[in-house]
Amino acid sequence: MFIIKALVEKVIELKNHIFILKIFSPEIASIINPGEFLNVKVSDSNYPLLRRPFSICDAEGDFIFLMFNIFGEGTKILAHKHKGDLIDILGPLGKGFNLLGDFDTAILVAGGLGVAPFPYFIRKIGKSKEIHSFIGGKTDKDIITYGMKNITISTDDGSLGIRGNVVELLEQNVENLKSKRIKIFGCGPNAMLRELRELSIKHNLNCEVSTECAMACGFGICQGCPIESVNHPDKYLLVCKDGPVFNMRDIVI
């Protein structure tokens, strides 16, 4: 874990208030794994006070990339960063995706900004496995394909891809995919993850998901980020330390 004041290289608006922040950080770039996250202090002042968690979106050479949308004050400040600004990052944090294991095809399922951790996932997995990406959003404005591969799209209003949500989209394709040894990797809103859980149980598929929770510290000292555990119902797991990526079998969403 490092606390680093890192240099901003650039901020790019992908579309519709969705941004990529490129940061120079060889220390973190060289050790971070897909699905892990960083906790970012967006300003030097007490406003906002707490750090903001962001998944590692990509890492290449000495640079790391974060993907974010303007959600509240903190992300608004981030969007206004410029080349040469210093930004205070803490990481790498948490447990990421398990890219090893008994599968030859990774099914990526992303709702809206849930695509954020996958570009790095795809980079790391390289040519070792096949990738299918299912991306869903409310309308075409919410669909981000940055860094994604082999894409199928759904939108709630049908403005792009099929009409419906992304889990319905996956359901339509799952029988075809089941001929391969597949593993599902999901990231998105809780409602989507819940549907994904049903689907993975119904088809008996191995499934890992990246979860979110309000956080204060991001590294296990505040106990602010509980998630219900299947194996130990008398004890919560911590999203920041035991996750944010969990096997669907282990958590109650």
Ligand X SMILES: Cc1cc2nc3c(=O)[nH]c(=O)nc-3n(C[C@H](O)[C@H](O)[C@H](O)COP(=O)(O)OP(=O)(O)OC[C@H]3O[C@@H](n4cnc5c(N)ncnc54)[C@H](O)[C@@H]3O)c2cc1C
**Integer CA distances (angstroms), 209 to 1, 31, 81, 143, in order:** 23, 21, 30, 19
Task: Report the alpha-carbon distance of residue 21 to residue 81 in Å, rounded.
Answer: 8
Report in angstroms how near the CB of residue 244 gets to ligand FES at its nearest: 10
Query: What does the alpha-carbon distance between residue 205 and residue 184 come to, in Å, rounded to a whole number?
Result: 7
Q: Of ligand X, ligand FMN, another protein, none, which one does residue 75 interact with (CB within 5 to 8 Å by kind)?
A: ligand X
Q: By CB under 6 A, is residue 49 in contact with ligand FES? A: no
Mask 155-194, x = binds ligand FES (CB under 6 A)? ----------------------------------------
By beta-carbon proximity to ligand FES, the closer residue of 82 and 235 is 235
Residue 222 in the binding site for another protein (CB under 8 A): yes
State the nearest-atom distance from the C-beta of 21 to another protein, in Å: 20
Per rule CB under 8 A, is residue 1 in the interface with another protein?
yes
Q: Distance of CA 192 to CAs 130, 164, 221, 228, Å?
A: 23, 12, 29, 17
Establish if 220 lies at the interface with ligand FES (CB under 6 A): yes
Residues 6+ apart with CB under 8 A from 114: 186, 187, 188, 189, 192, 210
Q: Which of 61, 175, 204, 214 binds another protein (CB under 8 A)?
A: 214
C-alpha pair distances (Å), 117 with each of 16, 70, 85, 228: 19, 17, 24, 23
Q: Is 1 in the site for ligand FES (CB under 6 A)?
A: no
Residues contacting residue 157 through CB under 8 Å, at least 6 positions apart: 138, 139, 163
Q: Looking at 70, 98, 152, 236, which residue binds another protein (CB under 8 A)?
A: 236
Per DSSP, 51 falls in state -
Complex with ligand FMN: residue 184 or 239, whichever CB lies closer: 239
Per-residue contact string for residues 73-92; x = within reach of ligand X by CB under 6 A: xxx-----------------
In angstroms, the CA 227 to CA 119 distance is 26
Please report, as residue ranges, which positions from 43 to 72 form the binding site for another protein (by CB under 8 A): 46-51
The residues of the shown chain that bind ligand FMN, judged by CB under 6 A, are 216, 222, 224
Give residues in contact with ligand FES (CB under 6 A).
Answer: 215-218, 220-225, 238, 240
Which residues of the chain form contacts with another protein (CB under 8 A)?
A: 1, 3, 41, 46-51, 90, 213-228, 234-236
